[in-house]
Amino acid sequence: MSDTPIIAQKGSYPVEVQEGKTYWWCACGRSKRQPFCDGSHKALEGIEPVTYTADASKTVYFCGCKQSGRAPLCDGTHKKL
């Protein structure tokens, strides 16, 4: 199994987050619970989930392509893939 992140989807995942709640974004692309971690990265070297704590209750857009420069949030990089 490659230690390189795979594209889960070429687009973002809109998620309603709750202020103060912590979320673990899947950085490897292998989770069955996208965009969140399910532990699939444990078979890989050097890829860990990214912690995100919501500063307000709102919709945020988690990266689906795993290439964002603003991980765990989408920055539009998927449009170039």
The whole domain housing 43 covers 13-80
Mean pLDDT, to the nearest integer, of 59-68? 98
Task: Give domain status of residue 66, yes or no.
Answer: yes
Residue 1, pLDDT above cutoff 80:
no
Task: Give domain status of residue 6, yes or no.
Answer: no
Per residue in 33-46, pLDDT (tens digit) is: 999 999 999 988 88
At which residue do the structure tokens 């444990």 appear? Answer: 42
Task: Give domain status of residue 1, yes or no.
Answer: no
Task: Give domain status of residue 5, yes or no.
Answer: no
Mean pLDDT, to the nearest integer, of 46-73? 97
CA torsion sign for 56, 36, 5, 50 is positive
Residue 59 gets the label, from left (phi > 0), alpha (psi -120 to 50) or beta, of beta
**Predicted structure pTM score:** 0.93
